[in-house]
Chain A
Amino acid sequence: MSGLPLTPPPTAPQPTTPPPALVEPQGRTALRHRLAERGVDRTLLLVVPAALAMIALFCYPFLYGLQLSFQPTKGGALGAYQQFFSEPFSRKSIWATFSLAIPAALINVGVSVPISYRMRRDFRGKRLLLALLVVPITLGTVLTAEGILEFFGPAGWFNRTLHLLGLADSPVKLTMNYTGVLLSLIISGFPFAYLLTHSYLSGIHPSLEKAASTLGAGWWQRFRYITLPLLLPGLMTTFSLSFVMAFAVFPSAMMVGDPNGSTHVISIEAYQAALERFDYAQGSADAMIMTALMLVVLGAIAGLRSQLYRGSTGGKG
């Protein structure tokens, strides 16, 4: 987590005044050019306040939490970590988190590919459909959870419809369990995945598929050999983002899930340690474990991605 783009400069940032033409204009331009040659852009000094705020609000708490996690009340420096892995209930939260985050990310990416593939063409009602697909972004998690409870709950419309159609004798349990959380993650995560996939896909020049079709490729072959390979790096990025969003699942796991059972995810484990048992060291350690696991997955995806073709996807090659 030390990958900040900017280190604070040693001197205070001087707002650069435009050079008055009278005084040595050559010297001033020369300085700017010299700086530019070293890759220094003085305008970027404007980023410094924001960078400082980042450091104050993110890096400091993170590092503070990191050192806190090594100071448990009992059991030495790694005591909190040992505690996490020796307790089966907390250990199982890793599995609970992955079993939610990976399917959610896979489904979001997987569904957005065919939809954005079709959405490349112009058709009547495209904008309306697009708006409907993207609107869940504007809903908060709480609203989504509320909606899921109403709609998929034991007495919700979904079960009533099933009952009316005679498809189910007793209500199908879709909330307060794993399914409810997965549904919530898909509803709130899909718009992001779709928007990203859509923009990656529109970066692939349509003439490539046309060329493939004049060379005898049917639609599946065109997708398999041309579009998919060009889209794959983008899909991996999309997967990473969807995964990160799903991995940090907390409100929906509480509201539509089973927080003390099948959806006891790591964030709930950390929350309970820190704010219910007031064991800050344990809570910090849980959060660190969560971060480490996430980074491992992201690193693996980045590694895979670097194996792929990542050049231009334009028609000219």
Chain B
Amino acid sequence: MSAVTDMTGTTAQSKGVPAPRAAGNRPESQIGELRISGLSRAYGAHTALHSLDLTIRGGEFVALLGPSGCGKTTALNCLAGLLPLTSGRIELDGRRMDTVPPEKRGFGMVFQNYALFPHLTVRANVAFGLKMRGTGKAETRRRVDEVLRLVQLTEQAHKHPGQLSGGQQQRVAIARAIVMEPALVLMDEPLSNLDAALRLEMRSEIRRIHQEFGLTTVYVTHDQEEALSLADRLVVLHAGRVSQIGTPAELYEHPADPHVAAFMGYRNMLTLNVVSSHGTQAVAQRPGLRLAGTVVGEAPVAEGQEVTVAIRPEDLRIAEDGEEPNARAVAEVVEYHGRALHVEAVTREGDRIHVKAQREVRPGDALAVAVDTDRALLFPASAAADGTDGAGGTHGADGTDEAGSPDASSGSPDAPAEEVSG
């Protein structure tokens, strides 16, 4: 359990470029790769997870990201062995794992509600796994002490979970999982029960522990910011299917479909008709809005074809003097966000657009907005359609997710996406 990591090179590099932190096989990672192939899980007639294929390299931090009911928790429970697979297999360095019961897999898991044993002290909670494994007293003591020091809970070791704050409980849950030095750590929305400030703090804590212990981590979340900041690689799920797998930068810059775009902060989503196309660029319009954008995907778009445009609020700017604006709208709601104002404006045709304004805007002001061609992504309609058909069946897919939260990116183009900031 050496805490020495060879991360210096990677972190230095990631300073400037928020790009691949991945790759770099850390020497202390216990596993070569975890291969998930064709993993699917059905509850009766409802399929919560359709054929997930994913290979996780040792030392990697992979986030499963998606709205409630997208199957991410189901996937994690299948990995942990808490849910049987409907089909597919899980292999760890060539050894088949999906037939192994959870207690024999040796994967650590951090539960959303922490699932600390309320009748045991912090020390006994952390030592539980070692006790089950039959580790000797002295060795257990040494390892528990070390982990408690790492999560800064040495002072609390004698307390019961009920006497701890949420953040401390969360750290106990992590300590309990990592003291086993597991091949793989599974985390199920571990930060969702914490308040905003603590969440930020624990986020870096989790990343730090991941690096110091050379862990391989699969992290489930519905918070794109959390996923982008923590993970080496993201798997975006929608209605039980993989929408896109890639590094944070890839997903952020090049979302593969409107669902991913909605998750990555492309808050302006409108359906347009193509007027003309030229290679990867096309001009599209709807009443009150005309713009040139970049077509996503291989297939060229034809004139008259329906496309969904996705634009981030910060890429939509107030048109300069003399520039032909793409749309005109009246500011309705202006939110103060520090250096910028977040403006929700309505065009004359009733379309709602989100603009991040650098100068002062008041509600009621008329705005002329413009967007650069490479900042407006055009998704051909077929790409949007395959997701919407499954959206109706997302309810109850995984019980631990909060029910009833709106689907981030179904049908209606101006449906507000999940909360997104900068």
CA distance A215 to B117 in the complex (A): 12
Interface bits A189-210 vs B (CB < 8 Å: 1, else 0): 0000000000000000101101
Q: How large is the interface on A (under 10, 10 to 19, 20 to 34, 35 or more residues)?
A: 20 to 34
Which listed residue, B118, B160, B164, B177, touches A314 by the CB 8 Å rule? B118
Q: Which of chain A's residues have a CB closer than 8 A to the CB of B102?
A: 210, 213-214
Q: Which of chain B's residues have a CB closer than 8 A to the CB of A229?
A: 119
Closest to A313 in B: B118
Chain A CB count within 10 A is highest, among B109, B116, B118, for B118
Binds B, one of A37-45, A148-156, A163-171, A218-226: A218-226
A67 at the interface (CB under 8 A from B): no
B340 at the interface (CB under 8 A from A): no
Min CB distance B177 to A, Å, is 8
B304 at the interface (CB under 8 A from A): no
Q: Which of chain A's residues have a CB closer than 8 A to the CB of B374?
A: none
Closest to B169 in A: A317
Closest to A218 in B: B103
Binds A, one of B34-42, B128-136, B285-293, B401-409: B128-136
Whether B119 and A215, one on each chain, are in contact in the complex, defined by CB atoms closer than 8 angstroms, is: no
Given contacts A215-B129, A216-B129, A317-B160, contact A208 B115 (CB under 8 A): yes
CA distance A37 to B57 in the complex (A): 62
CA distance A315 to B132 in the complex (A): 20
Whether A215 and B128, one on each chain, are in contact in the complex, defined by CB atoms closer than 8 angstroms, is: yes
Q: Which of chain B's residues have a CB closer than 8 A to the CB of A218?
A: 103
B176 at the interface (CB under 8 A from A): yes
Which listed residue, B107, B117, B169, touches A214 by the CB 8 Å rule? B107
A121 at the interface (CB under 8 A from B): no
B101 at the interface (CB under 8 A from A): yes
B65 at the interface (CB under 8 A from A): no
A64 at the interface (CB under 8 A from B): no
B396 at the interface (CB under 8 A from A): no
A82 at the interface (CB under 8 A from B): no
Whether B162 and A207, one on each chain, are in contact in the complex, defined by CB atoms closer than 8 angstroms, is: no
Closest to A230 in B: B119
Which listed residue, B80, B118, B132, touches A221 by the CB 8 Å rule? B132
A212 at the interface (CB under 8 A from B): yes
Which listed residue, B103, B107, B113, touches A316 by the CB 8 Å rule? B113
Whether A207 and B115, one on each chain, are in contact in the complex, defined by CB atoms closer than 8 angstroms, is: yes
B107-130 contacts to A (CB < 8 Å): 107-109, 111, 113-119, 128-129
Q: Which of chain A's residues have a CB closer than 8 A to the CB of B81?
A: 213-214
Q: Known A-B contacts: A210-B82, A211-B176, A312-B118. Give 18 more (CB < 8 A).
A: A208-B115, A208-B117, A211-B109, A212-B117, A213-B101, A213-B103, A214-B82, A214-B103, A215-B129, A221-B132, A312-B162, A314-B113, A315-B111, A315-B113, A315-B114, A315-B115, A315-B116, A316-B116
Binding site for B on A (CB under 8 A): 205, 207-208, 210-218, 221, 225-226, 229-230, 309, 311-317
Name 9 interchain pairs, CB-CB below 8 A, sorted by A.
A207-B111, A214-B107, A216-B103, A217-B103, A221-B132, A309-B119, A311-B160, A314-B118, A316-B116
Which 6 pairs show the lowest CB-CB distances between chains A and B?
A317-B161, A215-B129, A211-B115, A309-B119, A207-B115, A317-B116
